[in-house]
Amino acid sequence: MTGEITFRELDGIDVGRLKGVGERKRSALSSFGIESVLDLVTTYPRRWVDRTSEARIADLEIDRDALVLVTVRSVQKRTTRNRRTMVTAQVGDGSGRMEVVFFNQPWREKQLRQGLQVALYGKASAYRGGLQMANPVVDLIGDRTGRIVPIYPQSEKVQLATWELAAFVEEALRRCAERGIADPVPVAVLRRLGLVERAAALRSIHLPETMHDKESARRRLAFDELLRVQLLLVLRKRVLERDARGVSHVLDGEFVRRFHESLSFPLTGAQRRAVAEIEADLAAPHPMHRLLQGDVGSGKTVVAVSTLLVAVQGGHQGALMAPTEVLAEQHATGVRQLLDGLMVPDPDNLFGDRPLRVELLTNRVSGADRRDVLAGMADGTVDIVIGTHALIQEGVAFRSLGAVVVDEQHRFGVEQRAALRDKSSGAVPDLLVMTATPIPRTAAMTVYGDLDVSVLDELPPGRTPIVTRAAVGVAGEAEVWDDVRAEVADGRQAYVVCPLIDESEKLEVASAEETFTRLAEGELAGLRLGLLHGRLGPAEKQLTMDLFRAGGLDVLVATTVIEVGVDVPNATIMVILDADRFGIAQLHQLRGRVGRGAHASRCWLVTRPQSEVLEVDSSGQNPRVAALVASTDGFELAEVDLDLRGEGTLMSSSQKGRSDLKLASLRRDRELVKLARDAAFEIVDADPELSDHPTLRDELDLLFTDRDESFLTKS
């Protein structure tokens, strides 16, 4: 082979060809998922020990975290009186000696052999006139010299030590150096972003001279990971735009203007911006493919209706699809109210205008009503239809579907888009996907990278801010129920949300049925309580919900079935029990069910006493609950959530692909995500098939399976 060596070639070289990798080590490497030289050089250290900043035993301070490199002098294991195993090791480094003790880790006796060099990280304490470290982090580093020592994942089970992995990587990089390693990223991009070359990055991530070198290497290799994901998404986006024929819309008609003028409130700046972005998409020859993010109550419905009316204005039809029948019915009620009295300009009509026809289609619409709606969709007399997935079922046809709004369908994928296209006679309708779950910008650019994103980041005037308070344990709950009673006495209504339907011995959390009985007989006795959960039949759910909406119930005890789509302006107080068992996004969604009217609203987050909770921050609070108390900004909370939870995998959760991010982090590398996305557009727009970038194209084919690609782009 000649020329610089590519990832494809490295993937074709079995790791067993490296010096020192015999059959046993080959098998050990395989158990780590390392089969080829490419797998090896992209298995990165998990930590780096900077020997220039390590402490000596003589310099250790009591109760201060420190890293020391020591040699094991002796090891012994014994069983204590209460049957616990204790392994004690004497270690030293030339400046002094120290005892290290491990409780209930019997395997340490074999791990810490006499003469072994190890890095210990922990707190030293005074013990019997000397120093002792209890249960420190241990890294076996062998006799590695050098200023910075890489620490790789290692496993006692397969007898593979970090220094062995380091030696194999060093050997692989030495052999690669003869030909050099191909760099697929254009030189202009590297220079503009100040990124080091790939060969230097691979060397410095494994064998850094300084910690600064290691950071530069990590930045470059993380950029590569993000760029590959973005290239895949941008290529997909551009193919959709190039190959799909869009619907021709009329943007200068008066119908949409009439709608905006008929509203009893002015559009917010964010709404005007989103409408302008959507209209620019609708004017383009290719189909719109846009995500509309908006916090609870930010006015997404008005933007959605505006989009559908552009379709009607041009003689087409609009469809709004919701995930549940309850939400579809609520959308139908809300949209009809918004459009009440609005007439469609019609030159063929004797009076110059005709009424706008809005219909609902769910599985509950049956018989003659259903036949009438389906006939109107097929002949074009239905202008806007609102429904569930029933809209794309067999037997449903549109005369000319121009725009589709999909609400809370985070993975409305290629199959559903194809089904819509099949119902719209060749041209692909414009698609707007809405979500009230704020997504961190970096995650939106990655998970929804083939959609353009519009953000509604301000609330319309008149929405009352929600005050969120935390209550801990039984003592805290007493104040909560007093508050609920006071609100009901003022003519308001309340929600009480519980995490489970039935009692669970495993999870000691309040169930809806048990809570309903307890409150009805105790703290809220005398009030009118209703119960709502997923195991009730549709008719029973509807009856309870209608009763609550009409003011026939004071308090609705419910599970998270109320998370999406329940809108009762008179409900001003929400109590979420066992709030520490919910995620930030879900708590924020639930909280959004109050504060929907003109009255001040509150949300109580009830948690168990601190002594029963494992997850607390420095102030002793659950960090998710503390975040909700501190902020009502969904986008700010989404970033906090990403920081607390981590980002998980990008590929299908059932299979962690090779293409998952090893170094890049959507939390830590927010700036790199944006740079990678911009670079991907720059590369693809200049070279749509990547024919001038064959190495880059080949890496995408090598590192992404069809399954990965399908999962990533099924947005």
The string of DSSP codes covering 337-356 is HHTTT-EEE-TTSTTSEEE-
The DSSP bridge partners found for residue 532 are 558
Using CA atoms, how far apart are residues 510 and 501, in angstroms rounded to an integer? 8
Q: Do domains 1-46+148-182 and 466-631 have the same CATH topology?
A: no
Look-up of token digits 């107080």: 573
Give the pLDDT band (50/70/90) at residue 185: very high
Average pLDDT, the chain: 85
Mean pLDDT of 379-393: 90
Q: Enter the DSSP assignment of 580.
A: G
Tokens of 384: 């806007």
CA angle 111, 114, 117 (to 5 degrees): 75
649 compared with 352, residue with greater pLDDT: 352
Topology of domain 1-46+148-182, per CATH?
Answer: DNA polymerase; domain 1 (1.10.150)
Nearest to 655 by CA among 33, 179, 144, 161: 33
Q: Is-contact 196 217, C-beta < 8 A?
A: yes
Residue 277: how many other CB atoms lie within 10 Å: 18
In this model, does residue 90 exceed pLDDT 70? yes
Q: How confident is the model at residue 657 (pLDDT cuts 50, 70, 90)?
A: very low
**Which of 26-35, 347-356, 533-542, 563-572 shows the highest mean pLDDT?**
26-35
Q: What is the mean pLDDT of residues 530-535?
A: 84
Categorise residue 34: left if φ over 0, alpha if ψ from -120 to 50, beta otherwise.
Answer: beta
Under 8 Å CB-to-CB from 176, ≥6 apart: which residues?
5, 10, 37, 41, 199, 202
Residue 341 has pLDDT above 50, yes or no: yes
CA dist 607 and 604 (Å) reads 10
Strand order from edge to edge, sheet including 384-387: 358-361, 384-387, 317-321, 401-407, 430-435, 289-294, 452-456
* Under 8 Å between Cβ of 75 and 89: yes
Kindly tell me if the per-residue pLDDT of 651 is higher than 60: no
Report the CATH architecture of 255-456.
Answer: 3-Layer(aba) Sandwich (3.40)
**What's the angle, vertex CA 403, arms to CA 399 and CA 404, rounded to 5?**
105
Distance, in Å, from the CA atom of 704 to the CA atom of 674, rounded to the nearest integer, reads 21
CA distance 142 to 151: 11
Only one residue has tokens 């030590």, namely 161
Lowest mean pLDDT: which of 110-119, 263-272, 562-571, 583-592?
562-571
Of 95-99, 126-130, 417-421, where does mean pLDDT reach its minimum? 417-421
202 and 45 in contact (C-beta within 8 Å)? Answer: no
Q: What is the pLDDT of residue 577?
A: 92
**What per-residue confidence (pLDDT) applies to 122?**
85
Confidence bin at 654 (pLDDT 50/70/90): very low
Q: In 3-state terms, what secondary structure has residue 140? A: strand
What are the structure tokens assigned to 535, written together? 């195991």
Question: Quick one: pLDDT band at residue 363, thresholds 50, 70, 90?
Answer: confident
CA distance 494 to 101: 55
Measured CA to CA, the distance from residue 560 to residue 166 in angstroms comes to 50
Alpha helices in 156-209 (DSSP H): 162-176, 187-193, 198-206
Is the alpha carbon torsion for 24, 30, 32, 37 positive or negative?
A: positive
Confidence at residue 493, expressed as pLDDT on a 0 to 100 scale: 96
Q: What is the rounded CA–CA span in Å between residue 651 and residue 626? A: 31
Query: What are the DSSP E strand ranges found in 33-176?
Result: 47-50, 65-79, 85-92, 97-103, 117-127, 130-134, 137-140, 148-151
C-alpha dihedral sign at 230, 231, 234, 240: negative
pLDDT of residue 88: 95
DSSP code per residue over 259-275: HHHH-SSPPPHHHHHHH
According to the model, what pLDDT value does residue 458 have?
A: 81
Segments making up each domain of the chain, as ranges: 1-46+148-182, 52-145, 255-456, 466-631
Alpha-carbon span 487 to 555, nearest angstrom:
10
- With beta carbons less than 8 A apart as the criterion, state whether 125 and 61 touch: no
Q: What angle do CA 79, 80, 82 make, to 5 degrees?
A: 120
Residue with tokens 């066992």: 578
pLDDT surpassing 80 at residue 660: no
pLDDT band at 532 (very low <50, low <70, confident <90, very high): confident
The CATH class that applies to domain 52-145 reads mainly beta
pLDDT of 707 > 90? The answer is no
- In terms of average pLDDT, the best of 439-453, 549-563, 635-649 is 549-563
Q: How long is the chain?
A: 715
Give per-residue burial for 585-603: e unless 16+ CB within 10 Å, then b. Answer: bbbbbbbbbbbbbebebbb
Query: What was the pLDDT predicted at 640?
Result: 83
- Please tell us whether the domain made up of 466-631 is placed in CATH 3.30.70.20: no
Give the span between the Cα atoms of 431 and 451, in whole angstroms. 10
Identify the sign of the CA torsion 649, 654, 656, 657.
Answer: negative
Tokens of 143: 């006799």
pLDDT digits (tens, 9 = 90+) for 289-332: 888 988 777 889 999 999 999 999 999 999 999 888 878 888 89
